[in-house]
Amino acid sequence: MRQQQTPAKPTMRDVGLLAGVSQSTVSHVVNRTGRIPEETEKRVRAAIEELGYRPNETARNLRLSRSRTIGLVTDAIASSPFAGRVLRGAEEYAWEQGYLLLLVDTKEDPSLESAAVEMLRARQVDGMLYAAMAWRGVDVPAGVAKLPSLLVNAWPSGVHKVPAIVPEEAAGGRLAAQAVIEAGHRRIAFLGGMADDPARIEREAGFREALSEAGIAPCEKWILSGDYRIGSGHALAHALLGEAERPTALVCGNDRMAVGAITAALERGLRVPQDVSIVGYDDQEDLADQISPGLTTVSIPHYEMGRIAVMHLLDALASGLAPVGASVPSSLVRRGSVAPPSAPQGPC
């Protein structure tokens, strides 16, 4: 009995014959090398799809001296409720470009961090990203600087000056303040995170800039420090809103502090936003859009930073040049927690 033969796998030559182009043109399309006219590339990709052609990744990677993998080391992002969007953005863009992302979350253990970097280098990743959960300076392990690399949501504070993809934190602080200024508020408090937190420092600077641009003198006794937790926002807001001359708008350091502030306002018998407007920061998933009223907040561009980081890294690999950093703007998400003040506004 004759054995049934397995159909031969389609080759680049078969794709070229079907698309009416040379085998070298197919190679340029598959490997993303050379400049191919858009119409020609469409024909080649249609032929690839029709024939079910799949390139030999092992042979291609050996030829190009590439592994088509990117290492991503993080401090604690994988367990974060919102910064994990960095991973999503990075992974999705890498996958679109035919790359795999190898992730190690070090749980803020410096020894694990160094070991992870060396393990990724041993696996011959083409480049590396180091992403931080909180915006801060980092002293990256030496191995990171030995490959085309970028920091994400961090800046270099050590000897290795790795370029960085960072959020525009001061601009985000301006957006948060402008949300209530544009609604007509002039009695505005700032309930920030820890006084020495880099993100808080930048956001407060942006807050002050927005007030200055609007001709509003900040009320220094209403610029306060907390710890980014719900209880902190609750305690600060509860005290402020009990004053005879209280603020009519609260700009909070993050969404959790804003939730605490909303609770405090309700306990004081105040309505949000009719009696007091509240703005958060982060646009935390399953929080900012789930409370009532929905929280007006500034969205940190975590997803965009992850995506842009991989984009810049792959551009560097393709060009042979060093990766280039970038600042990524935040955006204001308007929901129901901001309204015009219910009474005429005077200084604090």
- What are the sequence ranges of the domains in the chain? 12-55, 69-167+301-329, 169-300
**DSSP strand pairing (296-299 vs 331-333):** antiparallel
- Calpha distance 224→313 (Å, rounded): 39
With beta carbons less than 8 A apart as the criterion, state whether 44 and 25 touch. Answer: yes
Task: Output the CA torsion 169→205→343→263 (10° steps).
Answer: 60
CA-CA distance, 241 to 246, in Å (whole number)?
Answer: 5
Burial string for 266-302 (b: 16+ CB within 10 Å, else e) reads eeeebebbebbbbbbbbbbeebbeebebebbbbbbbb
Q: Do domains 69-167+301-329 and 169-300 have the same CATH topology?
A: yes
CATH topology assigned to domain 169-300: Rossmann fold (3.40.50)
Task: Answer yes or no: CATH 3.20.20.150 is held by domain 69-167+301-329.
Answer: no
Q: What is residue 67's predicted lDDT score, i.e. its pLDDT?
A: 74
Task: Identify the pLDDT of residue 112.
Answer: 85
Query: Residue 279 has what pLDDT?
Result: 98
Q: Given this model, what pLDDT does residue 53 score? A: 78
Consecutive 10-residue runs of the chain (348 residues): their mean pLDDT? 58 86 82 78 87 65 66 80 81 90 85 87 90 87 88 88 93 97 96 94 97 95 95 96 93 96 96 96 87 94 94 91 93 96 76
* Separate counts of helices (H) and strands (E) for the chain: 11, 12
Structure confidence at residue 1 (pLDDT): 43
Fold held by 12-55: 434 Repressor (Amino-terminal Domain) (1.10.260)
Model pLDDT, residue 126? 92
C-alpha span between 279 and 298 (Å, rounded): 8
- Distance (Å, rounded) from C-alpha 19 to C-alpha 8? 19
Question: How far apart, in Å, do the first and last CA atoms of the chain sit?
Answer: 96
Distance set, CA 308 to CA 44, 214, 302, 346 (Å): 28, 33, 10, 44
* Cβ-contact 184, 340 below 8 angstroms: yes
Which tokens belong to 298? Answer: 């500034």
Alpha carbon distance 90, 106 (integer Å)? 18
Determine contact, residues 129/89, Cβ cutoff 8 Å: no
Instruction: Say how far apart CA 162 and CA 231 lie, in whole Å.
Output: 37
Prediction pTM value: 0.77
